[in-house]
Amino acid sequence: MSKLIGFQTQPRIRKYELLPWILAIVVFFVLPEYLSLGAQILTYILFALSLDLITGYAGIVTLGHAAFFGVGAYTCGILSAKFGITDPIILLFVSAIVCALLGFSTGLVILRTQKLTQLMLTLAIAALCFEVANKATTITGGADGLTGVVISPILGMFKFDFLNKTAYLWCLLILFIFWYVIRRLIYSPFGIALTGIKENKQRMQAIGVPVTSFLLKAYTFAAMVAGVAGALITQTNQFVGLNVIGFEPSGEILVMLILGGVGRMYGAFIGPLVFLVAQDYLAKQFPEYWNLGIGLMLLIVVMFAKGGILGVIDKFFVKRSLQK
Amino acid sequence: MDSFLSAVVSVLFYGVAYGMVLYVISVGLSITMGMMGIANLAHGVFAMSGGYILVTALAKFHIPFPLALALSFFLVAFVSVFLDRLLYKHIYAAPELEQVLFSIALIFISIAIARLIFGTLQQPVLLPEYLKDQFVLFGRDFPTYRVFIIIFSALLIAALWFGVENTKWGAMVRATVDNRAMAQSIGINTKLLFSITFAVGSGLAGLGGALGAEIIAIQPTYPFEQLVFFLIVVSVGGLGSLKGPFFAALLIGILDTACKYWVPEIGAFLIYIVTIGILLWRPLGLMGKRA
């Protein structure tokens, strides 16, 4: 099955894995008016990818992953608006470090528990971050959002423009780097151990895998990547609002990931793409009632497409190969 | 000193009223999640529906208040039976993540429907004259409606606890929560039992939403915004427990009211800290049976 591919194949890049990148570059040239949405989608793909690592591969269900996305976004925004640090690369680094520290410290706490308790702890931590962002208005701007974010050109050469051309390519580049790293990680013995922990924690413990330490490493890394995604969204929008932090974005990113397919890496690509494009389209057509369309779409996926969009595609190919 | 005492009394009073409402809404969630292990994040939808039913019944149809309250229970319970048979039954055995997706889908749909019918504004509650007054006790004034909430919920909770502890249905529910496979094998129809319990739990949520319509504002985003509090009550109280969530709800209710009164600038901060603290101290919740 797809989960076991890691045992059988080398991490050689297969042809279809180039598809998302080709598509992304085609979009850049063909649909210039959609680059703002495109940059948004690319950051959410990175965000979903980080969630897939801990939820899909390591089996930690979290309703609070946007705590890291939000803290990354706010770190980048506050440093730029209040402290005048505007270099995009430095901002990404600092956000990554802050979120890795936050992920490590909260990971120490939540990984001691299981199931509903764990879910609740992640949710409570995200809600806590939301409250801080909401109430510490002097530094975060509270409900009005944080304005005055300035990002200087990348390497002093590529200026963030109004058409979001730079932002789009910048997000694409960062996504590509982390996709490569995460892909290597997933196919490494460490990644396979994570899947083992998801399948059977006791047995992995029994054969000598340091389960908690592995989970903590994965959780910290995922927090860091989510933080980078958050910083990217700030650099693209040059604004931070409360919608990047707390329970609702945590729920949404989980929904996007499940929609695409959990534990498949490319589910994290398809989910945000379908979700955000549908949301954008529906919000333009029916500004009041787009929730209905999204809700029905998700319901249909749960009822008829178990395993998400990629799950269905998988089944289709399995059926065909059986018929042959 | 006297003013401080008076503040403590009113914080306790308002906090208990809020806690009672939280418990009436959340108890069904605790039992159904404990019974079938379903991560039903859409529980707030039932509470919101109850609130809308009450508000509409009072404002549009001029139905007497007690009848409107009863209507919010029975209508929501009735609709939940259909939801259970049509939709929920498909996800009983599904993995946790699909249940999360399913219930979030229901939340999205309900938000859109609520917006379609009632608009985005908060709905005012037209209370009858006899509940609008102040109630004088020991030389202090208490709003009659809150007194009514506390007494009514207390009676309701007493009836519910008696039902679960002393009736045959209650015994079957407790057996199923403790060990579903065993309960099934000694001849309890756990599926039917679950449907009934689900309906009662949803009805109670509707009733709680209606009772608390003045405390927890009825608006389309209700299921998302209040979900955190319902889940906190269930997990702090203990999944599958009947009495645990009661103490958790009172704790959250009083704490939240106290925070709003004395330190409004920190918002719900303290509640989350206390939740994290309790869950680390007792991972199964105050009276939980299993994680």
Nearest to A113 among B91, B106, B279 (CB): B279
Q: Which is more confident, B149 or A291? A: B149
Strands annotated E in chain B: 134-137, 140-143
Position B205 pLDDT exceeds 90:
yes
| pLDDT, position A1 | 43
Instruction: Quickly count: other Cβ atoms within 10 Å of residue B186's Cβ.
Output: 9
User: To the nearest 5 percent, what fractions of chain B are helix, strand and coil?
Assistant: 75, 5, 20
| pLDDT, position A220 | 96
Q: Is B224 on the interface with A (CB under 8 A)?
A: yes
Q: Is A33 on the interface with B (CB under 8 A)?
A: no
- Measured between alpha carbons, how far is A182 from B282 in angstroms, rounded to an integer? 35
Q: Is A60 on the interface with B (CB under 8 A)?
A: no
Q: Is A106 on the interface with B (CB under 8 A)?
A: no
Do the beta carbons of residue A232 and residue A171 sit within 8 Å?
yes
What three-state secondary structure class fits B136?
strand
Please name which of A182, A179, A219 lies closest in space to residue A197, comparing C-alpha atoms: A219
pLDDT digits 0-9 by tens, B54-82: 999 988 888 888 899 999 999 999 999 98
Chain B interface mutation, best of A198, A302, A304, highest count of B Cβ atoms under 10 Å: A302
Measure the CA angle with vertex B225, ends B99 and B252; round to 5°. Answer: 100
pLDDT digits 0-9 by tens, B155-168: 999 999 898 888 88
- Measured between alpha carbons, how far is A140 from A129 in angstroms, rounded to an integer? 11
User: What one-character DSSP code corresponds to residue A58?
Assistant: S
Instruction: Quickly count: other Cβ atoms within 10 Å of residue B132's Cβ.
Output: 11
| pLDDT, position B291 | 44
Position B219 pLDDT exceeds 70:
yes
The runs of H, that is alpha helices, within chain A are 5-8, 19-30, 35-51, 66-83, 88-110, 115-135, 137-140, 165-187, 189-199, 201-206, 211-237, 247-260, 267-285, 290-304, 308-323
Residues of A in contact with B87 (CB under 8 A): 299, 303
Q: Is B283 on the interface with A (CB under 8 A)?
A: yes
Do the beta carbons of residue A278 and residue B92 sit within 8 Å?
no
Do the beta carbons of residue A219 and residue A103 sit within 8 Å?
yes
Q: Is B90 on the interface with A (CB under 8 A)?
A: yes
Q: Is A203 on the interface with B (CB under 8 A)?
A: no
pLDDT digits 0-9 by tens, A251-293: 889 989 988 888 888 989 999 999 999 888 888 887 777 788 8
In angstroms, the first-to-last Cα distance of chain B is 44
Beta bridge partners of B261: none
Beta bridge partners of A146: A240
* Contact state of A291 with B273 under an 8 Å Cβ cutoff: no
Distance between A250 CA and the closest CA of chain B, angstroms: 12
Position A222 pLDDT exceeds 90:
yes
Residue of A nearest to B99 (CA): A302
Q: Given the structure tokens 């109430």, which residue do they identify?
A: A135
Residues of A in contact with B279 (CB under 8 A): 113, 117, 120-121, 124
Residues of A in contact with B115 (CB under 8 A): 288-289, 291
B56 CB burial (10 A radius; 0-12, 13-18, 19+): middle
Q: Which is more confident, B155 or B98? A: B155
Beta bridge partners of B140: B137
Average confidence (pLDDT) over B270-282: 88
Nearest to A298 among B39, B97, B104 (CB): B104
Q: Enumerate residues 6+ apart whose C-beta is below 8 A from B90.
A: A302, A303
Residue ranges of domains in chain A, CATH in brackets: 18-323 (1.10.3470)
* Contact state of B279 with A289 under an 8 Å Cβ cutoff: no
Position A6 pLDDT exceeds 70:
no
Residues of B in contact with A63 (CB under 8 A): 100
Beta bridge partners of A154: A158
Instruction: Quickly count: other Cβ atoms within 10 Å of residue A133's Cβ.
Output: 26
Residue of B nearest to A303 (CA): B90
Give the ipTM. 0.82
Q: Is A74 on the interface with B (CB under 8 A)?
A: no
Paired tokens of A137: 């208005």
Nearest to B280 among A61, A109, A248 (CB): A109
Q: Enumerate residues 6+ apart whose C-beta is below 8 A from B217.
A: B122, B123
Nearest to B98 among A123, A131, A306 (CB): A306
pLDDT digits 0-9 by tens, A91-144: 999 999 999 999 999 999 898 887 778 888 898 899 899 988 988 888 888 888
A282 residue type, one letter: L
* Contact state of B105 with A296 under an 8 Å Cβ cutoff: yes
Identify the weakest region by mean pLDDT among A29-43, A176-190, B114-128: B114-128
* Contact state of A114 with B283 under an 8 Å Cβ cutoff: yes
A114 CB burial (10 A radius; 0-12, 13-18, 19+): middle
- Measured between alpha carbons, how far is B253 from B11 in angstroms, rounded to an integer? 10
Paired tokens of B15: 């906090």
Beta bridge partners of A216: none
- Measured between alpha carbons, how far is A67 from A247 in angstroms, rounded to an integer? 8
Beta bridge partners of A91: none
Instruction: Quickly count: other Cβ atoms within 10 Å of residue A173's Cβ.
Output: 12
Tell me the backbone φ, ψ of residue B141, rounded to 5 degrees: -100, 135
pLDDT digits 0-9 by tens, B3-59: 888 888 888 888 999 999 999 999 888 888 877 777 788 899 999 999 999 999 988
- Measured between alpha carbons, how far is B252 from B272 in angstroms, rounded to an integer? 10
- Measured between alpha carbons, how far is A115 from B240 in angstroms, rounded to an integer? 14
- Measured between alpha carbons, how far is B114 from A289 in angstroms, rounded to an integer? 10
* Contact state of B104 with A109 under an 8 Å Cβ cutoff: no
Do the beta carbons of residue B107 and residue B45 sit within 8 Å?
yes
Q: Given the structure tokens 């000193």, which residue do they identify?
A: B1
* Contact state of A115 with B291 under an 8 Å Cβ cutoff: yes
Position B136 pLDDT exceeds 60:
yes
Please name which of A47, A8, A11 lies closest in space to residue A231, comparing C-alpha atoms: A47
| pLDDT, position A178 | 94
Q: Enumerate residues 6+ apart whose C-beta is below 8 A from B126.
A: B55, B58, B59
| pLDDT, position A225 | 96
| pLDDT, position B23 | 93
Paired tokens of A104: 């490590």
* Contact state of B267 with A135 under an 8 Å Cβ cutoff: yes
Q: How far from B45 is each of A65, A252, A271, B271, CA to CA, in Å?
A: 24, 17, 25, 23
- Measured between alpha carbons, how far is B200 from B190 in angstroms, rounded to an integer? 15
- Measured between alpha carbons, how far is A240 from A245 in angstroms, rounded to an integer? 10
Tell me the backbone φ, ψ of residue A10, rounded to 5 degrees: -75, 155
Residues of B in contact with A124 (CB under 8 A): 228, 232, 272, 275-276, 279
